[in-house]
Chain A
Amino acid sequence: MFATLHNAFDPGLFWEYRVGLLTGLLRNVIIFAESAALAAALAFVVGAASLSRRAYVRWAAVAYAEFFRNTPEYVLLVWVYFVLPLIIGKVVGTKVNLSPEVAAVLGLGVAYSGFLSETVRAGLRSVAYGQTEAALSLGMSGFTTLRRIVLPQAVRRMLPDTVNQLVSLFKATTIVSLIAVQDIMYQVSMISVAEMRPVPLYTGAALLYCIVIICATQLFQRLTERWRRRGWA
């Protein structure tokens, strides 16, 4: 039995396909980075809008966040990949195709912008209004106040939560193989079909993911720790 298990776990197989697997992983990382950037940009806009003085802006932001927070990423992904091109095609009048990669970034980006906008909103609200008043009373504009006084404090408070969201997002990038993005999971399933030996490849993929995420999180934690030490009681 031990021999079978060893045979099943044979790391040699993983090594043999390292190029394909690492290219797949790289694709995951790229999709992660792009959708994280998109999600962060959208989250800042939506998070700020959810604190607007105008009620309809607030409502739109809340509706946006609620919709994307409560729809599964997979459904969004499929919707963006299959349905969105049809709708755009109808509007423009020609056939439109979205590449799987673009659909993946859009789908994951909007899905996580919903979560992240809540983080942004909470972060902005956590900065006492007196901070803003002090800046305004010295003649600073609203934008300068946001940029120099509120955001630097808010961003640091958002960080731990954002790291959690980003870890989730990175894990979620594995579902892009379902719309045929050639990521690591896609590679693994192709190879294991060809080799008829799923155990070492899937296990290897799991370990690889785990290692990458632990390293990235450690890096982030060092960064926050340094910020905390710099005059942050």
Chain B
Amino acid sequence: MDAGRPIIQVKDLRKSFGLSEVLRGITLDVSPGSVLSIIGASGSGKSTFLRCLNYLERPTSGDIVIDGEAIGPSSAGGRRTSGASPKDIARMRAKLGMVFQQFNLWPHMTVLGNVIEALIQVKRMPRKEAADVGRRFLAKVNLLDKEGAYPAKLSGGQQQRVAIARALAMQPKVMLFDEATSSLDPELTGEVLEVMRDLAREGMTMLVVTHEMGFARDASDRVIFLHEGKIEEDGTAAQVFGAPSSERCQRFISSALG
């Protein structure tokens, strides 16, 4: 349904922690501009998968190609020496914006300071220019009036929107959301999901690990269901939610929507 090269190509990605293999061979292409939701029970490897994409976890083996650039161990059992240099990894990470469950805003910096820090440190942007860019993205998440506040003064939903602005300000090719609403009170998830829906409408490529079945069903082009480190179900939202072929996926969805 989408022409052109996939923006993310993953081939046979595996990750073990000690003896337990958390990802058992994930192969996946993501086309630019699409929204992919990743669902599954806790421990199914969703978050680990997302974290492997930007090397917060080092994959044990497998190929990851981001925007045409290969990163990481390319053969099974690849050693560190075959991996990418810290510089390559940092460059690749700058192309992927990540939003965390716990927001992870830096408490010693103002809202604007949080948003522009990487622009200054990584993109070497002059402070003034960075502040202009930062304000543009704060306006996008409707928090321009909070630019001088410290994170501790904000609600959870506001903090998460700042975190989204911080990731967006780097103008990444892909946004990764790792259970971005899971630690929010129910009445605060709406404002964050709204920002995410806006992004999706604007054509941002998004990988969304989520327990929000509503978002997965309505806002994504494609949904995958992970079970024990493997993709068990893969299809459009309508397919996965309407007529999943895997019985396990069916059970998961009916209990999650329940």
Q: Which residues of A contact B (CB under 8 A)?
A: 128, 130-131, 133-142, 144, 148-149, 152-153, 156, 230-233
B121: chain A residues within 8 A (beta carbon): 140, 144, 148
Chief secondary structure at chain A's binding surface: helix
Chain A contacts of B153 at CB under 8 A?
231
Looking at the assembled complex, report how far the CB atom of A153 sits from the nearest CB atom of chain B, in whole angstroms: 5
Taking CB atoms, residues of chain A closer than 8 Å to B100 are: 130, 133-134
Classify chain B's interface size: 20 to 34
Residues 139-179 of B at the A interface (beta carbon under 8 Å): 150-153, 163, 166-167, 170
Chain B: residues with CB nearer than 8 A to chain A? 54, 56, 86-87, 90-91, 93-94, 96-98, 100, 102, 104-108, 110, 117-118, 121-122, 150-153, 163, 166-167, 170
- Contact between B108 and A156 (Cβ–Cβ < 8 Å)? yes
Q: How far is the CA of A140 from the CA of B123 in the complex (A)?
A: 10
Smallest beta-carbon distance B104→chain A, Å: 4
B107 and A153 within 8 A (CB): yes
Closest CB in chain B relative to A227 CB, distance in Å: 9
Interchain Cβ contacts within 8 Å, total number: 80
Q: Which residue of A lies closest to B96 (CB)?
A: A137
B56 touches A136 (CB 8 A): yes
Q: Is the CB of B102 within 8 A of A130?
A: yes
Given the complex, which residues of B lie within 8 Å of A233, measured CB to CB? 107, 150, 152
Contact of A134 among B90, B106, B122, B150 (CB under 8 A): B106
Contact assessment for A140 and B90 in the assembled complex, using a CB-CB cutoff below 8 Å: yes
Option from B98, B102, B108, B110 in Cβ contact (under 8 Å) with A137: B98
A153–B152 CA distance with the chains assembled, in angstroms: 14
Q: How far is the CB of A95 from chain B (nearest CB, A)?
A: 48
- The distance in angstroms between the C-alpha atoms of A140 and B163, with both chains bound, is 16
Q: Which residues of A contact B56 (CB under 8 A)?
A: 133, 136-137
In the bound complex, residues from chain B placing their C-beta under 8 Å from that of A156 are 108
Chain A residue at minimal CB-CB distance from B169:
A138
Sample 27 A-B pairs with CB under 8 A, ordered by A number: A128-B104, A130-B102, A134-B104, A134-B105, A135-B117, A135-B118, A136-B90, A137-B54, A137-B96, A137-B98, A137-B167, A138-B93, A138-B94, A138-B166, A139-B90, A139-B94, A141-B86, A141-B90, A142-B86, A144-B122, A148-B121, A149-B117, A153-B106, A153-B107, A231-B110, A231-B151, A232-B150
A153 CA to B98 CA, complexed, in Å: 22
Whether the pair A231, B152 counts as a contact (CB closer than 8 A) is: yes
Question: How many Å lie between the Cα of A142 and that of B87 in the bound state?
Answer: 10
Q: Are A136 and B93 CB-contacts (below 8 A) given A131-B106, A148-B117, A153-B107? A: yes
Nearest B residue to A144 via CB reads B121
The 5 tightest CB contacts between A and B, nearest first, are: A231-B150, A139-B94, A134-B104, A138-B118, A233-B152
Query: Do A138 and B122 touch across chains, with their CB atoms under 8 A apart?
Result: yes
Q: A130-B102, A138-B122, A141-B86 are in contact. Are A153 and B93 (CB under 8 A)?
A: no
A149 to B107 CA separation, bound complex (whole angstroms):
9
B154 to chain A, nearest CB (A): 11
Q: How far is the CA of A75 from the CA of B228 in the complex (A)?
A: 59
**Closest chain A residue to B51 by CB distance?**
A133
Chain B residues whose C-beta falls within 8 Å of the C-beta of A231 in the assembled complex: 107-108, 110, 150-153
Closest chain A residue to B95, Cβ basis: A139
Separation in Å of the A202 CB from the closest CB of chain B? Answer: 46
Central interface residue in B56, B121, B152, B166, by most chain A CB within 10 Å: B121
Cβ–Cβ contact A130 & B152, under 8 A:
no
User: Given the complex of chains A and B, what is the CA–CA distance between A20 and B100 in angstroms?
Assistant: 62
Residues of B within 8 A of A128 (CB): 102, 104
Nearest CB on A from B211, distance (A): 19
Contact B104 A130 (CB under 8 A): yes
Shortest CB–CB separation between residue B193 and chain A, in angstroms?
A: 21
| Known A136-B93, A138-B118, A231-B152; further 9 A-B contacts with Cβ < 8 A | A128-B102, A134-B98, A135-B106, A135-B118, A141-B86, A148-B121, A153-B108, A156-B108, A233-B107
Give B88 Cβ to nearest chain A Cβ, in Å.
11
| Nearest residue, chain A, Cβ from B105 | A134
Q: How far is the CA of A135 from the CA of B91 in the complex (A)?
A: 13
A23 to B108, CA, bound (A): 41
Smallest Cβ distance from B233 to chain A, in angstroms? 28
Closest residue on chain A to residue B122 by CB atoms: A139
User: Chain A residues near B117 (CB, 8 Å)?
Assistant: 135, 138, 148-149
Provide the bound-state CA to CA distance between A144 and B118, in Å: 10
| Inter-chain contact B106/A149, CB cutoff 8 Å | yes
Chain A CB within 10 A, most for which of B96, B104, B117, B151: B104
